[in-house]
């Protein structure tokens, strides 16, 4: 199936485009009043995630409001631990909680790889519904959390600032830690392959907590497992490439290593200068990012200035997907997100050869 607006897919593969494509991490979310209305109708966040027609509805909401270059599946990275039986609950004001976290090495041995068309069928049904609703208009991005990030939640029982339990486990129980990461890598690989089969056009691995590790531990406990996952993904579907994106929040020190694991694009957060990132990775991968989400709290004129600076820093040529350096926050006025998107569309063609 040919996608009408394939700007994102071409940019991820470092192919010529007429302008820089743009989408937003968490583009379907609490900053949109229409999302809040659907969320209220669902009753709670997990019901929203687990009801395919509602997940489809909120996935499409930002596309009705903004001229974005992609849809991203509305779901949560903790669907896999939930399907493994850890008892997920999510309070949007507090964060996720797992009722049955991993507390001892023996707990790891009880974990199995969830069936994407079984325990996670609701995600695949949402992908199929979104793909049908989108038609050929735009690409659909699927995603999963990285094994290390999922392990952090599974070991902590929820979110954390310091990850004391997770880090103690990997240092005190390295064999069990690797068993946990291995089963998670298998689960994420199966999950992403099923999303591709169901209709997503690109996939992204969110390594939200990789930046909490030391350099040596990052390579051992995070990067190595993402590399395994990327190696298992199909490169094509129906003769068309399926690009992959890897995003480690705080991963600036390891850009070259991330770019070498076989992914097509590397996401960077706002702490990493994009011109420096481009020099470091060269033509090996595309880059995605990296406006500070807090810029969207500023006046539209300032937002345009910051957009212009990032486009200028990346410079001429292809292989740039404009995005935030992390997810959009609930406090953002939707019109400010619109100002950012409009600025990217208006200012970026000057940086592309085919314009």
Q: How far apart are CA 267 and CA 258, in angstroms?
A: 10
- CA-nearest of 170, 176, 269, 267 to 220 is 170
For the chain, where are the alpha helices, taking DSSP H only? 7-12, 33-42, 45-50, 52-65, 79-81, 105-108, 121-134, 147-156, 164-172, 174-198, 215-218, 224-232, 255-259, 274-281, 300-314, 334-347
Active site residues: 26, 30, 39, 76, 153
DSSP 8-state assignment for residue 174: H
Do the Cβ atoms of 21 and 286 come closer than 8 Å? no
Q: How many CA atoms lie within 13 A of 325 on its CB side?
A: 21
Quick check: 313 and 305 in contact, CB under 8 A?
no
Angle at 48 between CA 31 and CA 62, to 5 degrees: 35
């Amino acid at each position: 199936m040919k996608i009408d607006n394939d700007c994102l897919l071409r940019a991820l593969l470092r192919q010529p485009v007429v302008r820089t494509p743009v989408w937003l991490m968490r583009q379907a979310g609490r900053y949109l009043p229409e999302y809040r209305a659907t969320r209220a109708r669902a009753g709670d966040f997990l019901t929203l995630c687990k009801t395919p027609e509602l997940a489809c509805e909120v996935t499409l909401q930002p596309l009705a409001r903004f001229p974005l270059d992609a849809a991203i599946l509305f779901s949560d990275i903790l669907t896999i631990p939930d399907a493994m039986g850890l008892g997920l609950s999510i309070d949007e004001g507090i964060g996720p909680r797992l009722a049955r976290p991993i507390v001892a090495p023996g707990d790891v041995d009880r974990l199995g790889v969830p069936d994407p068309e079984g325990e996670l069928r609701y995600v695949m049904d949402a992908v199929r519904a979104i793909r049908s609703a989108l038609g050929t208009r735009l690409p659909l991005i699927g995603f999963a959390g990285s094994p290390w990030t999922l392990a952090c939640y599974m070991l902590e029982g929820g979110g954390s600032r310091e990850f004391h339990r997770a880090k103690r486990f990997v240092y005190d129980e390295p064999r069990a830690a690797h068993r946990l990461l291995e089963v998670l890598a298998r689960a994420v690989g199966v999950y992403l392959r099923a999303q591709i089969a169901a209709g997503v056009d690109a996939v992204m691995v969110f390594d939200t907590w990789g930046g909490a590790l030391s350099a040596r531990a990052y390579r051992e406990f995070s990067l190595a497992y993402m590399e395994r996952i990327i190696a298992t993904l199909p490169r094509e579907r129906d003769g068309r490439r399926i690009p992959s994106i890897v995003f480690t929040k705080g991963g600036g020190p390891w850009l070259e290593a991330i770019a070498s694991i076989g992914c097509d694009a590397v996401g960077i957060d706002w702490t990493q200068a994009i011109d420096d990132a481009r020099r470091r990775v060269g033509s090996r991968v595309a880059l995605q990012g990296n406006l500070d989400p807090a810029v969207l709290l500023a006046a539209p004129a300032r937002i345009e200035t910051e957009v212009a600076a990032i486009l200028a820093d990346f410079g001429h040529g292809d292989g740039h997907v404009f995005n935030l350096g992390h997810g959009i926050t609930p406090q953002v006025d939707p019109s400010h997100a619109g100002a950012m998107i409009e600025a990217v569309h208006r200012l970026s063609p000057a940086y592309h050869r085919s314009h």
